[in-house]
Amino acid sequence: MELETSYDVVVVGGGLGGLTAANILGRNGYRVLLVEQHFQLGGLATYFRRGRHIFDVALHGFPVGMKKTLRKYWSPELAGHIVQVKSVRYDNPQFSLETDFTEVDFTNKLISYFGIDSETVKAFYSELAGMNFYDLNTMTNRELFEKYFPGRNDVVRLLMEPITYANGSTLDEPAITYGIVFSNFMSKGVYTFQGGTDLMLKMMKTILNNNGVQISLRSKLEKITLDSNKRVSGVVINGQPVKCRSVMSNGNLLNTVYDYIGRDCFSPEFIEKVETVRLNNSSCQVYLGLKQGEKIDYIGDLLFSSSWPEFDPARLISSEVTSRTYSIYYPEIRPDNNDYTVVASMNATYHDWVGLSASQYEDRKKSLIEDTLDALDKYIPGIRDKIDYAEAATPITFKRYTLHGEGSSFGTKFEGLEVSMQLSEQVPGVFHAGSVGIIMSGWLGAANYGVIAANQLDKYLSFDIADAK
Ligand SMILES: Cc1cc2nc3c(=O)[nH]c(=O)nc-3n(C[C@H](O)[C@H](O)[C@H](O)COP(=O)(O)OP(=O)(O)OC[C@H]3O[C@@H](n4cnc5c(N)ncnc54)[C@H](O)[C@@H]3O)c2cc1C
């Protein structure tokens, strides 16, 4: 792909945050270049093909808010593909139940299944609804749950395990991060994209092209260059300098600060803050494709399964796997492709996978697949004989395809948000729209953060033009 010599904006990374930011800025008339180091768009929200199987990496479910975000910042047609997931199941030693993951159903379950009184449930929901991202709220998840459900580890498991499965949130993290995400889901349940991630990305690419965004794949940002006033002057992509007035980084926050800009370009106080930012944990996944003609009877769309006796966030990332989330993709997701696939996801840490020899690594991946097949047999009897494809991804895989440090699946933890939002105060012209904390990640969070950051960048460029006049 031939690059121009200069752009208004270079968006670095084709994750949902970068894609959405690029689309808004292109639509607003800026000359936008979107560079993606991988050969495919989507970042973590991606897919891959193996024979006739298409595997979705991160399409387990998202809140209904995604419909509005897609409609407003992409197209009504794209939003029209969002459909509700019918059934979410939990199966663990404390309880086994099925829910549509709405507030009404959760309220019923809390009262009739778990025996909580209705006033307490109401008060809990109203505390969550009152949580405001901009309020100074120091309450932790542990304190929140102790306040309403003291000593009820089973209730905490119901309320928190899906969020912990997703991103490793612990009981010691700010309750606000849990509360906002949980409330987003609770409004109307869990949703998915009919047609799959492949169709969504194809449609997004067409819209980006129509809005004049130039897309360059296999193009890695190596450096953001600054002028003598420490403002953005350009970027280096695969060794090639390109001039630009601003950069939107959708890459990992820490890479953006340390590698693409450089710590010398920031104040020591700011760098002190950056040094406190923790990466999130990573994931392992096992992808299973069924032989042609084989079926799975409906067992729910999303199944949170654990054999661990209690809810314990630390156990969810242990290399000794006891907990898995299964996403079951029936032919309805891609009506023109009569295929069944299952994706099992587990939380994981990079350190458990790095430094293995090639053969050790392959052996561990094989065990991950075998153990998953053993565990899944409980829900899909004879699964081993039904499949014709199995593959595993590890934190090493996630790192390779996204460049997130330690293969982090949700960027950085919550403290990254402040650093991310203040980047442009330190280096005018650099903005960040990448996963920082659970509120600004996940499909909805990442896309919405792309909107927020694009608006900030737009403001910067408008002032920049005004300055020049
Ligand atoms: C296993 C798993 C399951 C998940 N399931 C769900 C789910 O069910 N629901 C949900 O809402 N969320 C889910 N998520 C999370 C969700 O997919 C992510 O939070 C979201 O997609 C992140 O978007 P992002 O914009 O932050 O960018 P990312 O997806 O992190 O993408 C960043 C992009 O930037 C590119 N990049 C980085 N550095 C450079 C560089 N130097 N030059 C060029 N390109 C660069 C990367 O290659 C990548 O494409 C899941 C995540 C994982 C790992």
Q: Which CATH number do you get for residue 459?
A: 3.50.50.60
Q: What is the pLDDT of residue 135?
A: 66
326 lies in which domain range?
282-348+354-393
Q: Do 269 and 467 meet the contact criterion of CB atoms below 8 Å apart?
A: no
For residue 303, report the phi and psi dihedrals to the nearest 5 degrees. Answer: -130, 115
| SS3 labels along 194-247 | CCHHHHHHHHHHHHHHHCCCEEECCCCEEEEEECCCCCEEEEEECCEEEEEEEE
Please report whether residue 86 resides in a domain: no
From the CA of 347, how far away is ligand 1's center (Å)? 15
Do 34 and 11 touch, CB atoms closer than 8 A? yes
In a domain, 438, yes or no: yes
What residue's CA is closest to ligand 1, atom 36? Answer: 13
Do 270 and 305 fall within a single domain? no
Q: How far is the CA of 404 from the centre of ligand 1 (A)?
A: 9
Q: Which is it for the CA torsion 375, 381, 382, 384, positive or negative?
A: negative
Q: What are phi and psi of 47, to 5 degrees?
A: -150, 165
106 and 169 housed in the same domain: yes
CB 73 within 8 A of CB 451: yes
Which atom of ligand 1 has the smallest separation from the CA of 435?
A: 26
Residue 93 forms part of a structural domain: no
- Out of 188, 218, 236, a domain closes at 188
Q: Are residues 139 and 209 in the same domain?
A: no
CA 424–ligand 1 middle distance (angstroms): 22
Instruction: Report the amino acid identity of residue 362.
Output: E
Which three-class secondary structure state does DSSP give residue 93? coil
What is the atom index within ligand 1 of the atom nearest the CA of 44?
Answer: 29
| Residue 90 maps to a domain | no
170 and 264 together in one domain: no
pTM: 0.95
Q: 456 and 431 in contact (C-beta within 8 Å)? A: yes
Q: Are residues 315 and 384 in the same domain?
A: yes
382 and 423 together in one domain: no
Q: Specify the ligand 1 atom closest to the Cα of 237.
A: 42
Q: Given ligand 1 and candidates 19, 40, 44, 190, which is best to mutate, with the most ligand atoms within 8 Å of its CB?
A: 44
Residue nearest to atom 37 of ligand 1 (CA): 251
Indicate the residue among 339, 366, 393 that finishes a domain.
393
Centroid of ligand 1 to alpha carbon of 402 (angstroms) = 7
- Pick the closest to residue 74 from 443, 430, 459, 457 (CA basis): 443
Q: What is the pLDDT of residue 90?
A: 96
Q: How many domains does the chain have?
A: 3
pLDDT value at residue 46: 96
Q: Which parts of 346-391 fold into alpha helices (H)?
A: 358-376, 383-386
Distance CA 188, CA 31 (A): 38
Cα separation of 28 and 454, whole Å?
10
Cα–Cα distance measured from residue 382 to residue 404, given in angstroms and rounded to the nearest whole number? 37
Atom of ligand 1 nearest to the CA of 327: 8
Cα–Cα distance between 85 and 87 in angstroms, integer?
6
Tell me if 146 is assigned to some domain: yes
Residue nearest to atom 2 of ligand 1 (CA): 58
- Paired tokens of 148: 């309403």
Does 234 fall in a domain? Answer: yes
d(CA 298, CA 87): 10
Q: Whose CA is nearest to atom 19 of ligand 1?
A: 442
User: Residue 51 gets which letter from DSSP?
Assistant: T
286 and 274 housed in the same domain: no
Reading the chain (469 residues) residue by residue, the pLDDT tens digits are 688 999 999 999 999 999 999 999 999 999 999 999 999 999 999 999 999 999 999 988 999 999 999 999 999 999 999 999 999 999 999 999 999 999 999 999 999 999 999 999 999 999 998 887 666 668 999 999 999 999 999 999 999 998 888 777 889 988 888 888 888 888 789 999 999 999 999 999 999 999 999 999 999 999 999 999 999 999 999 999 999 999 999 999 999 999 999 999 999 999 999 999 999 889 999 999 999 999 999 999 999 999 999 998 887 777 777 889 999 999 999 988 889 999 999 999 999 999 999 999 999 999 999 999 999 999 999 999 999 999 999 999 999 999 999 999 888 988 999 999 999 999 999 999 998 987 778 899 999 999 999 999 999 999 866 555 4
27 and 14 both lie in a single domain: yes
Compute CA 249 distance to the chain's CA centroid, rounded to the nearest angstrom.
16
Element (H, E) at 347: strand 341-348
Residues 259 and 207 in one domain: yes
Residues 6+ apart with CB under 8 A from 93: 306, 307, 308, 309, 310
The helix (run of H) or strand (run of E) holding residue 7 is strand 6-12
Which residue intervals of 109-174 are DSSP H helices? 118-129, 141-148, 153-167
Residue 72 lies in a domain: no
The whole-number pLDDT of residue 59 equals 86
Residue 96 belongs to a domain: no
Q: Are residues 161 and 202 in the same domain?
A: no
Tell me if 13 sits within 8 A of 43, measured CB to CB: yes
The span from the CA of 308 to the CA of 239, in Å, is 49
Residue partners of 339: CB distance under 8 A and separation at least 6? 52, 53, 54, 289, 290, 329, 331
Of 401, 400, 408, whose CA–CA distance to 350 is shortest? 408
Ligand 1: atom nearest CA of 410 is: 19
397 CB within 6 A, ligand 1: no
**Residue located nearest, by CA, to atom 15 of ligand 1:** 442
SS3 readout for 14-32: CEHHHHHHHHHHHHCCCCE
| 72-87 CB burial, b ≥16 within 10 A, e <16 | ebbbeebbebbeebbb
Q: Does the CB atom of residue 393 touch ligand 1 within 6 A?
A: no
Atom of ligand 1 nearest to the CA of 43: 49
Asked which of 171, 188, 205 is the last residue of a domain, the reply is: 188
Q: Which amino acid belongs to residue 197? A: T
Residues 246 and 290 in one domain: no
Query: Per the structure block, which two tokens stand in for 96?
Result: 């086994």
Q: Is 17 in the pocket of ligand 1 (CB under 6 A)?
A: yes
**Phi then psi for 78, rounded to 5 degrees?**
-65, -45
In 16-101, the DSSP E strands lie at 32-35, 47-50, 53-56, 82-84, 88-91, 96-99
Closest-lying ligand 1 atom to the alpha carbon of residue 60: 8
- What separation in Å is there between the alpha carbon of 468 and the centre of ligand 1? 36
Ligand 1 neighbourhood includes 168 CB (under 6 angstroms): no
Which secondary structure element, helix H or strand E, spans residue 216, and what is its range?
A: strand 214-216
Closest alpha carbon to 302 in 79, 101, 112, 459: 101
Q: Is the CB of 15 under 6 A from ligand 1?
A: yes
Residue 94 main-chain phi, psi, to 5 deg: -90, -35
- Do 262 and 220 sit in the same domain of this protein? yes
Length of the chain: 469
**What residue owns the CA closest to ligand 1's atom 27?**
15
H/E element holding 449? helix 442-468
345 CB burial (10 A radius; 0-12, 13-18, 19+): buried
The tokens describing 207, both together, are 């819209």
Cβ 333 vs Cβ 192: under 8 Å: yes
Ligand 1 centroid to 394 CA: how many Å?
A: 15
